[in-house]
Structure 1
Amino acid sequence: MSVYWGQNSYGATHSDVANFQKPLAFYCQDDAIDVVPVAFLDVFFGPGNVPSINLANTCNSADNATFAGTNLPICTSVGTDIKACQAKGKIVTLSLGGAGGSVGFSSDSQAQTLADTIWNIFLGGSSPTRPFGDAVLDGVDLDIEGGSGTGYVAFINRLRTHTDAASKKYYFTAAPQCPFPDASLGSVLDAASFDAVYVQFYNNVCGLQNFNLAQDWNFGLWDFWARNTSPNKDVKIYIGAPASSTAAGTGYQTIDTLTNIAVTMRKSFPSFGGVMMWDASQAFANSRYDLAVKNALSAAGGTGFTFPACSAPAFMSGTNYQGGSKVSFGGYIWQAKFFASSTPVNTPNGEWSAISACTGSPPTSSSSAPPSGPTGGSCASVAAWSSTSVYTGGQQVAYGGHLWTAKWWTQGDTPGGSAGVWTDNGACSANKVQKQESEGMRLLQ
């Protein structure tokens, strides 16, 4: 369980002072949280060319002391809390960026300069300007939600030259949005080594609210990336979730629903690492949402990962599959997002969604392949296309002497038209009623 602390998300949306963000150590008193990213270092190069941090109602009052010539606050009390959390076995990292951060690099050399600075003032280096005193954080997290990926690979690589030479273990994480690839961090994730990726499955169509929709839920995309593209093939993917209904615009789920989703992903994908929540203040005010989910996950039991069998029928080239059909191919079980005919490939806009990793030989019987319906010849049993009817992926119509299959939801898009939502299954002969309906529709149009 990784839970962000620092931004007083609850206080930003409520007037209930009793539940405003509490000191960091307060949230480390039990076993709910394992990792705490401290958020955020939101200015890379401030006065004196020194970064600055924003911890909302902590160390940010107008009269809070700063280091001379900088906007970097002196937060020794947070340093004390960091050490208290670490003494309880918690990992405490520094998160860079945030939604409103003034961050980004113009060059690799600028990024390397900041890496040296971060090492010296927050990690294992030395500097007279250490905001958390002698507390040594356990790593860095990139929550970069705008701008390009310029410099971030150089930043991580330079910082690793310091951490790899240290006796202490350091961790590198990132928190991309769930649309794949992430707009700001996509190229960075492909080129730099991370230990964990906290995918934000909220505020997007690929969020937790659409878990049951294969065309939207894309944890399988992230698993495929982790195991095939990431420089660190052991990188773990976390389900990022809002800790209450006021923590994000969309994506919040009940304790039981989030637990069920997490357990399903844990049993389905070897890259699953845990749950990330935004944020500690929201979780505490929401009846200890973090602890409830952690307890539920613990009660579900199980450690490690055992590949499930490839139980779906083997994909058969040249077959037309209806939306919702499942096949086994290339070490995954796939579900058709809509009408599908191409080979399953893990791409954001492809026809298939990977719903589980798998192992073993799948069934190969042609009788197990989902029926595709008529593919030409006679389409006497197929209704004529209607401009007013709603069609979903896999439904078939007769139009212009051809059989057509909808790729996804559509209404009013003519088969063969520029919208490209219909697949032409070839010429077919319609019965008399269909011909009359088709002719009547043309006259109406």
Structure 2
Amino acid sequence: MAAAYSQSTKSLLLGAFSLLLAFSPLIRSSEACGISVYWGQNLAQEGSLRELCETGNYSYVNLAYLSTFGCGQKFALNFTDHCDAASGGCKSLSTELQACQNRGVKVLLSLGGNDTRYNQLCSAQDARNVADDLYNTFLSGSNSDGPLGDVSLDGIDLDIEYPGSVNYWDYLVEALASYRTPEKNVYLSASASCSYPDKDLGKAINTGLLNHVAVRFYDDNPQCYCSAGAERILQTWNGWSSSLPEGNQLFFGLLPNSNAGSQCTPEVFTTEILPVITSSPNYGGIMLRALYKDISTLYPAAACSNEALHRRQSLISVL
């Protein structure tokens, strides 16, 4: 039962709570933890990039998706109803992208998704050519004719889910990593199926050149589902953690929609899974498959600042 407080005391508590919310991004930023989120496939739920970054919850934004590339194909972005890249409409995102980066958010371009047009790279040389084109078009900051204008994105994310796309991703990663300099780091990440090793990206992950790997604990494998039990999920996590190349960080991939049948609720995740995975030496944070305004803010507070989350919950309980 909540304690009885005077109106003035409640006002003081609410004021303290507001300060805690205001400073929670600073608390999170001091820890070795980040939240990665995909943006570009649901205008109604996601809002604008500027709104997303202004929450202070996210360290990485993956622009989803570059859906066409490789085998001589011309690059094509698919941001659904956010903008039409084919007509040049996505250049309007440049100011929002720069606003995100000015807040310290790394913005990556995600390759793949569930589109079938990128089913594989045609050769090792094709992979190198794609890497060169990616750098010149999206990473160099010197191509005003590019579909996003002359912005300099921070890196590339691989979300390769189409069956049979196993070829040459390691060559792509190696070629992209070769562009790293003391002045500009090319950040590289991948979204992997929970089964180890990932059937498509295993070789790319084993290069050790990725900054982080986000394991999808929600896709079409029952051992990833919350119904399998926390113990089974943690066994899979520990397998990934012990096998990941040294220096790479491991993210726990979640669907932010708690109504999804395979998905753990925030309560189960934060009480049964999170306390264990955060003890892994290569724990890097969580990845949210999409941004849903209704509940997605429950995850960042938990994943990167357990102590702050508990203080917030305790404060709420007395009001």
Superposition pairs for residues 285-304 of structure 1, below 5 Å? 286=294, 289-301=295-307
Task: Tell me if the contact between 2:177 and 2:209 (Cα under 8 Å) persists in the aligned partners.
Answer: no
Distance of 1:215 and 1:79 partners within structure 2 = 39
| More helix, by proportion | 2
Q: Which has the larger radius of gyration?
A: 1
Match of 1:51 in 2: 75
User: Hey, what's the Cα distance between the residues in 2 that align with 1:158 and 1:122?
Assistant: 15
Give yes or no for the alignment of 1:270 onto 2:281. Answer: yes
Question: 1:94, 1:100 → 2: CA distance?
Answer: 15
CA distance in 2, matches of 1:119, 1:299: 35
2:56 is matched with: 31
Q: Answer yes or no: is 1:85 the counterpart of 2:68.
A: no
Q: 2:274 is matched by which residue type in structure 1?
A: A
Question: Closer, same or farther in 2 for the Cα pair 1:298/1:173, shift >3 Å?
Answer: closer
Q: 1:251 maps to which residue?
A: 262
TM-superposed CA distance for 1:293, in Å, is 1.9
Q: 1:204-227: CA deviations, max 9, x gaps?
A: 22225034243884001101111x
1:150 aligns with 2:174: no
3-state SS of paired residue (1:75): helix
Maintained 8 Å contact 2:208/2:248:
no
- TM-score scaled to structure 2, two decimals? 0.78
Q: Over the residues paired in the alignment, what is the CA RMSD in angstroms?
A: 2.3
1:94 equivalenced with 2:109 (yes/no): yes
Shift in Å, 1:241: 0.4
CA change 1:301–1:157 in 2 (3 A) is same
Deviations 1:296-332 (A, max 9, x none): 3444249xxxxxxxxxxxxxxxxxxxxxxxxxxxxxx
The alignment partner of 1:175 has SS state of: strand
The answer for unaligned runs of 5 or more in structure 1 is 12-18, 67-72, 303-445
In the aligned structure 2, how far is the partner of 1:39 from the partner of 1:120? 19
Helix, strand or coil for the counterpart of 2:232? Answer: coil
Q: Name which of 101, 106, 126 aligns with 2:122.
A: 106
* Contact preservation (8 Å) 1:262, 1:274: no
Cα distance 1:74–1:161, how it changes in 2: closer, same or farther (>3 A)?
farther
For 2:110 and 2:240, locate their aligned partners in 1 and report how far apart those are by CA, in whole Å.
Answer: 21
* Distance apart, 1:135 and its partner CA: 1.2
CA distance in 2, matches of 1:213, 1:195: 27
Return the alpha-carbon distance in structure 2 between the equivalents of residues 115 and 52 of structure 1.
Answer: 15
User: Match for residue 239 of structure 1?
Assistant: 252
Note the C-alpha offset of 1:101.
Answer: 4.0
Distance in 2, Cα, partners of 1:243 & 1:215: 17
Q: Is the 8 A contact 2:67 2:115 kept in 1?
A: yes
More deviation in 36-45 or 119-128?
119-128
Letter in 2 for 1:271: N
Task: Mark the runs of 5 or more structure 2 residues left unpaired by the alignment.
Answer: 1-34, 309-319
- Tell me by how many angstroms 1:50 deviates: 2.2
Structure 2 CA distance for partners of 1:217 and 1:207, relative to 1, 3 Å: farther
Which residue of the partner structure matches residue 314 of structure 2?
Answer: none
- How many residue pairs align between the two structures? 269
1:185 partner letter: L
The TM-score with structure 1 as length reference comes to 0.57
Q: Which has the higher contact order (CA 8 A, sep 6+)?
A: 2
| Alpha-carbon distance between aligned partners in 2 of 1:182 and 1:301, rounded to the nearest angstrom | 34
Is residue 193–residue 216 contact of structure 2 (8 Å, CA) maintained in 1?
Answer: yes
